[in-house]
Structure formats: C-alpha cells, structure tokens
C-alpha cells in the first residue's frame, strides 16, 4: 500500500490539488483480487483511506505482454515478481531450482528463459509508459558467481526428497516440483541495454544488486527459538511458492495435506540448522525515452 500512497502524493504534488488518479493493479488471472480490493477498503494503511479522486482497478493478465493502454502510465511499480519465469523451461531431478542443478543444460535453459522474459517484460512496460515515465522493479537476484538463495531452496528441496523417500510424492511429482524461478545478476539485468544504453525505448537510470537483511534472524538471535525461525521461513516460502508446488502434485492427491506436510518438513529442516540468510535483491529504475516504439510481440522483443 505504501508505494501507491507515495506515488499518488508525488504525482499530485506536481499538478492541481485533488487531481484524478487511476491505480491499475495487474497480476495473473488466478490472483486473489478479491483480497486485494478487500484490503484496499479495510486496511488502515490503504491508499484509499480518506482518499478522493483515486480510482483503483485490476487487470488479470500476464505482464509478459502489453496489458494496459499504450502510452498512458506515468509511474510503474513492480516488486518481488520478476524472479518468477513466464513458464518452466526444463524440469530437473536434483534440485528444486533448475538454475542450481548440476546439469549445464538445465542451467542454460533457465538463463535463456530469464533473458527472454526480461526483454519481454521491459518491452511490454515500455509500450504502456508515457514519455518521461519511470518504472521501478525490485526482485530477488544473485551476486556474480554466488547464489544468494541457495540455502532456503536447498532445504525446500531436501523436504521434497524426504517426501519422495517416504513414498508421499512420486518421481513424476518430484520432477514437476522444479520451480520456475531465476535470480538475475546485474550483468543479466543490463544485457538488453548493452548496445546504446536503451532497449525498446527504455533507458536504465539506476541498477544495483545489493544484499537484503534477514528479517527473521534478529528475533532468533534474541530468543534462540529455532522452531519459531523454521515456522517463519515456512510461512513466507509457502505464501510465495505453495500454490505452484501444489499444482505440481497429481490432481487426485489431497494437495492441501501434501503442502502442509512439505512445509512442516521444511520448517523442521530450517530449525535443525538455523543460519542467517544472505539474500540479494535487484533494484532497477528505468525511464521511458521520447522515442516512439511500436508494441512488441511476445518473444520478439
């Protein structure tokens, strides 16, 4: 809520008071938009609290193609989604992330999909932004030659393997549990802009990959409660990845029970070997140039 509230105030500060503002929320069609609009109406920190002339709406489509009218957006915000790929290019049997597999083929498949998705995303947003508009993106990333998220994903894979050994997940399900995630490096982020500093009418104003603090570690250091640490990690990891992993199980399964079991095992593994997570995030700010750009076609950015 805070990013939208800040954006509304900043744009209105540059124009007449009470200026009409449209806020367009987009996500996959399966997103729980009902909860979003409930939060907008009820949460104390909602940007709609006491607001007049602000009109929220939603688009239920994948953002890897243009989904908002061309040349209309002043400010674009995107947080914690671009580590997700548009689809899973390959499945592996030795890790929950193909990018952390021993297979070079798998690693390359993920890198290629990540590069394609990044270009498609930028091109699609470029078509929606007005000249001079800005787009800020925040997402899980990697430092060069140093995976940043290998510990929690390694423990999640360990939980999957535990369930496979206990005959609770079959071999096919284990394969399908390859998560379509990819952590870009700064080099990956800058690659489309390498020729002349622009790509599809967008220019990078700021790009960095920086470490992000472990939200749970300070409390663990204070309490020493490893089980609580495990449950905290499980809740966050389940919130983001639970539905995708549930879809990887056979349709005739009790999917909710399997995912309960999986994250209980994950929590136990975290509690058994607690450590401070050294994650990395990318922060990228792009500006739409004045150049006219024709709308992109998917995969041809």
Partner 1 sequence: MDQIKNPTVASMEGDGYYNRNSAMQAAGIARILPIWEKVAGTVPVGDETLVIADSGSSQ
Nearer to partner 1 by Cβ, of 25 and 190: the residue is 25
Instruction: Provide, rounded to whole angstroms, the least separation between the CB of residue 74 and partner 1.
Output: 5
Nearer to partner 1 by Cβ, of 111 and 285: the residue is 285
Nearer to partner 1 by Cβ, of 2 and 167: the residue is 2
Nearer to partner 1 by Cβ, of 90 and 226: the residue is 90
Instruction: Provide, rounded to whole angstroms, the least separation between the CB of residue 268 and partner 1.
Output: 18
* Max CA distance (Å), the chain: 65
DSSP for 62-82 reads -TTS--S-TT-EEEEEEES-T
Which one-letter DSSP state was computed for residue 291? S
Instruction: Provide, rounded to whole angstroms, the least separation between the CB of residue 292 and partner 1.
Output: 16
Q: How far is CA 298 from the centre of its chain?
A: 19
Instruction: Provide, rounded to whole angstroms, the least separation between the CB of residue 67 and partner 1.
Output: 8
**Distance between CA atoms of 62 and 260, rounded to whole angstroms?**
28
Tokens of 228: 């609580």
Nearer to partner 1 by Cβ, of 113 and 185: the residue is 113
Instruction: Provide, rounded to whole angstroms, the least separation between the CB of residue 223 and partner 1.
Output: 16
Instruction: Provide, rounded to whole angstroms, the least separation between the CB of residue 250 and partner 1.
Output: 13
**Distance between CA atoms of 219 and 148, rounded to whole angstroms?**
21
Nearer to partner 1 by Cβ, of 102 and 195: the residue is 102
Instruction: Using alpha carbons, select from 258, 44, 265 the residue that is nearest to residue 169.
Output: 258
Angle at 267 (CA atoms; ends 263, 98), nearest 5 degrees: 60
Instruction: Provide, rounded to whole angstroms, the least separation between the CB of residue 273 and partner 1.
Output: 19
Instruction: Using alpha carbons, select from 188, 202, 219, 167 the residue that is nearest to residue 282.
Output: 188
Nearer to partner 1 by Cβ, of 231 and 265: the residue is 231
Torsion over CA: 200, 206, 208, 214 (sign)? negative
Instruction: Provide, rounded to whole angstroms, the least separation between the CB of residue 34 and partner 1.
Output: 8
8 Å CB contact between 148 and 280: yes
Burial code (b: 16+ CB inside 10 Å, e: under 16) for 131-165 equals: eebbbbbbbbbbeeeeebbbbbbebbbbbbbbbbe
Nearer to partner 1 by Cβ, of 11 and 272: the residue is 11
């Amino acid at each position: 809520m805070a990013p939208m509230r800040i954006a509304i105030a900043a744009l209105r500060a540059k124009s007449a008071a009470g200026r009409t503002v449209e806020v367009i929320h987009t996500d996959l069609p399966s997103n729980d938009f009902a909860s979003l609009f409930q939060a907008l109406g009820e949460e104390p920190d909602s940007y709609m609290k006491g607001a007049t002339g602000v009109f929220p709406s939603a688009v239920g489509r994948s953002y890897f193609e243009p989904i908002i009218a061309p040349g209309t957006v002043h400010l674009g915000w995107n947080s914690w989604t671009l580590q997700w790929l548009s689809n899973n290019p390959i499945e592996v049997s030795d890790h929950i992330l193909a990018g952390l597999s021993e297979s070079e083929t798998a690693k390359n498949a993920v890198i290629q999909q990540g590069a394609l998705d990044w270009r498609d995303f930028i091109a699609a947003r470029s078509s929606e932004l007005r000249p001079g508009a800005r787009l800020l993106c925040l997402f899980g990333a990697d430092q060069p030659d140093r995976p940043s998220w290998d510990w929690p994903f390694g423990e999640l894979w360990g939980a999957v393997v535990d369930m496979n050994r206990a005959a609770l997940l079959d071999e096919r399900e284990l394969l399908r549990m390859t998560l379509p995630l990819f952590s870009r490096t700064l080099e990956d982020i800058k690659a489309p802009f390498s020729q002349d500093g622009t790509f599809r009418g967008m220019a990078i104003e700021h790009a960095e990959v920086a470490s992000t603090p472990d939200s749970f570690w300070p409390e663990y250091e204070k309490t020493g409660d490893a089980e609580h640490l495990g449950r905290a990690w499980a809740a966050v990891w389940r919130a983001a990845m639970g539905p995708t992993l549930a879809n990887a199980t056979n349709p005739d399964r009790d999917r909710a029970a399997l995912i309960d079991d999986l994250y209980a095992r994950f929590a136990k593994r975290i509690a058994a070997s607690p450590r401070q997570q050294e994650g990395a995030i990318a922060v990228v700010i792009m500006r739409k140039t004045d150049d006219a750009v024709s709308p992109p076609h998917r995969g041809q950015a």
